C-alpha cells in the first residue's frame, strides 16, 4: 500500500485529526468477512467506470486505466497475492486503495457519483442474486433425487402416519413425492425473491442521489438488473432481499430437517426401513454395533442456525431510521453463513437420498400393523352397502376392537367374527383389507395409488 492510502480516514479527507483507537478499528472493520464480495465489488466498479466515461464525467483514458487496474486486482485476489488491510475497514476501501497504488490519479476518480452506501448495497444484491440462483439449482437436484427414488418405489407399501401412529398404508414413492412438493415451494420462494430484488441501487450515492449526470439505467443493464431502484433513500436502506433469502432459507431448512428426521427414524433398528450409506454415517467410540446417521442429524440441527440468522437480521433492522446506519454491516455474516449452511445441507440431503438402501419388505410388514386398513373397511360399507360413513366408522371401530381382543390383524378375523359385528360384513370385505389393495384403491388426484404416483413422477420429470 502507498503511504497516501494508509487508512480509511485518509481516504475521506482531513476532518479527523487522529486515527481510530485500536478497539474502534477492531469493531469497525468488516474486511474479514466482506472480502467475499470482491468479485461483485469489482464488477460494479467496472460498470460504474464505463458509465462515468460514457457520460463524460471521466475521460476514456482514465476509464481504461481503471479497468486495467481492477482486472489486475481481481487476479491478485484470486491468486492469493492481495494484502487485505483491516485499517482500510472493508472490501471497497481495500480495492480502491490498491487501485490508486496501481494507476495513480485515475483511481481516485472512480468513486465519483457514488458512495459506499450504494456500492455495498449493489455488491450485496449481486452476491445474493448469485446465491438465489445456486439455491434454485441445488433444490432442483434434491428434487430429482427424490423423484428417481419415488419412481423406483412407486408401488412399495409403507405405513403412513399421523401423530406418529400408524394411520393408513401409503407407498414409499408417494411419501417421497411429498418432499418434492415442499421443495418446489421452496424453489418458487427463491425465484420470487430474485425477481423482487433485481433492481440496482448503484448511483443512489449516500442517500439523496448525485448531482453528476450519471446514467443509472446503463449500469443497471450492464449488471443484469431489470432497472435502477426508483427511490434513492430506499435504494441504500433496503435489505429486504437479505430477509427474503433468509426467510426462504429458513423454510427450506425446516423442510430438510423434517426429511432428515424421517431418515433418522427410518434407519433405526425399530423401523429398519432404510440403511444410510457409510459415507454419511459414523460409528461409536464404545459401541461397535452402532451406525449413527450423523449427516441427517446435522442437517436437522443446522436448521436452527439458519432460522437464527433470520431472527437476528429482523431484529437488527427493526429499529433503524432511514437511511444507512453502521448496524447494517451486520447483514453479511449471518447471510454468508446461512448460504453456506443451506448449500451444504442441500448437497448432503441429495447424496443421502441417492445412496441410502431401502428395505421394502420391512416397510410392507409394518404397513399393516396398527389396523391401518380400518378406513378401507368403513369405505367398503359405504361404497358397497350404502351405509352412512359415521355408521360405517363405528362398525369398523368395533372390528378393530375385536381384532385387538383376538391379537390379530383385521384381515385375520374370521367371517363369523365379522358377521357377528355387523351382518353386512360379508366375505367380499376381505378384498379391501390387504395393504396393497388399500393403496391401489386410493386413485383420487394426489392419492397414493401406484398409478397416481407414476403420473406424478412423469410430471415432475417434465418440469425438472
Active site amino acids: 163, 284
**Cβ contacts of 48 within 8 Å, gap of 6 or more:** 110, 113, 114, 202, 219
Residue with cell 437436484: 141
Cα–Cα dist 349/299, whole Å: 8
Count the neighbouring beta carbons within 10 Å of the beta carbon of residue 362.
15
3-state SS, residue 158:
strand
Specify which residues 200 forms β-bridges with: 228
Q: Are 337 and 307 in contact (CB under 8 A)?
A: no
Nine-digit cell string for 21? 483507537
Cα–Cα dist 403/417, whole Å: 9
C-alpha pair distances (Å), 189 with each of 36, 245, 248, 389, 437: 25, 9, 6, 40, 38
Q: Are 159 and 409 in contact (CB under 8 A)?
A: no
**Cβ contacts of 238 within 8 Å, gap of 6 or more:** 121, 201, 229
Give me the count of residues in the chain: 464
DSSP structure class, residue 282: B
> Residue 147 region, left (φ>0) first, then alpha (ψ -120 to 50), else beta?
alpha
**Cβ contacts of 153 within 8 Å, gap of 6 or more:** 171, 172, 173, 176, 358, 360
> Residue 209 region, left (φ>0) first, then alpha (ψ -120 to 50), else beta?
left
Q: Are 169 and 157 in contact (CB under 8 A)?
A: yes
Cα–Cα dist 212/110, whole Å: 13
Q: Are 176 and 149 in contact (CB under 8 A)?
A: yes
3-state SS, residue 197:
helix
Q: Which of 28, 151, 143 is nearest to 88 (CA)?
A: 28
Q: What is the CA radius of gyration of the chain?
A: 31
Q: Which of 41, 73, 39, 66 is nearest to 52 (CA)?
A: 66
Amino acid at each position: 500500500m502507498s503511504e497516501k492510502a494508509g487508512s480509511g480516514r485518509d481516504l475521506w479527507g482531513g476532518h479527523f485529526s487522529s486515527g481510530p483507537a485500536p478497539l474502534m478499528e477492531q469493531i469497525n472493520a468488516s474486511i474479514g468477512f466482506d472480502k467475499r464480495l470482491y468479485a461483485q465489488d469489482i464488477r460494479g466498479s467496472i460498470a460504474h467506470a464505463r458509465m462515468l466515461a460514457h457520460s463524460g464525467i471521466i475521460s476514456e483514458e482514465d476509464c481504461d486505466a481503471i479497468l486495467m487496474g481492477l482486472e489486475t486486482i481481481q487476479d491478485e485476489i484470486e491468486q492469493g497475492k492481495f494484502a487485505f488491510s483491516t485499517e482500510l475497514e472493508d472490501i471497497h476501501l481495500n480495492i480502491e486503495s490498491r487501485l490508486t497504488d496501481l494507476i495513480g490519479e485515475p483511481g481516485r476518480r472512480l468513486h465519483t457519483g457514488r458512495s459506499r452506501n450504494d456500492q455495498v448495497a449493489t455488491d450485496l444484491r449481486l452476491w445474493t442474486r448469485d446465491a438465489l440462483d445456486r439455491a434454485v439449482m441445488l433444490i432442483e437436484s434434491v428434487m430429482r433425487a427424490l423423484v428417481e427414488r419415488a419412481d423406483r418405489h412407486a408401488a412399495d407399501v409403507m405405513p403412513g402416519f399421523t401423530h406418529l401412529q400408524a394411520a393408513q398404508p401409503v407407498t414409499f414413492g408417494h411419501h417421497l413425492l411429498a418432499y418434492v412438493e415442499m421443495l418446489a415451494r421452496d424453489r418458487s420462494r427463491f425465484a420470487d425473491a430474485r425477481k423482487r430484488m433485481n433492481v440496482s441501487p448503484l448511483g443512489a450515492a449516500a442517500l439523496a442521489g448525485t448531482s453528476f449526470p450519471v446514467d443509472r439505467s446503463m449500469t443497471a443493464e450492464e449488471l443484469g438488473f431489470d432497472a435502477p431502484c426508483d427511490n434513492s433513500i430506499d435504494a441504500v436502506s433496503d435489505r429486504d432481499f437479505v430477509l427474503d433469502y433468509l426467510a426462504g432459507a429458513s423454510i427450506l431448512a425446516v423442510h430438510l430437517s423434517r426429511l432428515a428426521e424421517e431418515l433418522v427414524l427410518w434407519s433405526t433398528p425399530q423401523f429398519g426401513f432404510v440403511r444410510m450409506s457409510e459415507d454419511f454415517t459414523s460409528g461409536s467410540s464404545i459401541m461397535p454395533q452402532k451406525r449413527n446417521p450423523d449427516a441427517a442429524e446435522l442437517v436437522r440441527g443446522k436448521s436452527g442456525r439458519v432460522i437464527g440468522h433470520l431472527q437476528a437480521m429482523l431484529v437488527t433492522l427493526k429499529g433503524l431510521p432511514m437511511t444507512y446506519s453502521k448496524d447494517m454491516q451486520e447483514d453479511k455474516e449471518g447471510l454468508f453463513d446461512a448460504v453456506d449452511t443451506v448449500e451444504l445441507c442441500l448437497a448432503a440431503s441429495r447424496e443421502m437420498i441417492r445412496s441410502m438402501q431401502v428395505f421394502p419388505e420391512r416397510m410392507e410388514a409394518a404397513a399393516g400393523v396398527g389396523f391401518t386398513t380400518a378406513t378401507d373397511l368403513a369405505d367398503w360399507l359405504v361404497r358397497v352397502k350404502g351405509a352412512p360413513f359415521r355408521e360405517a366408522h363405528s362398525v369398523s371401530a368395533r372390528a378393530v376392537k375385536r381384532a385387538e381382543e383376538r391379537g390379530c390383524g383385521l384381515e385375520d378375523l374370521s367371517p363369523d367374527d365379522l358377521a357377528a359385528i355387523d351382518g353386512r360384513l360379508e366375505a367380499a370385505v376381505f378384498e379391501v383389507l390387504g395393504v396393497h389393495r388399500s393403496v391401489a384403491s386410493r386413485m383420487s388426484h394426489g392419492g397414493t395409488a401406484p398409478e397416481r404416483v407414476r403420473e406424478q413422477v412423469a410430471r415432475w420429470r417434465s418440469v425438472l
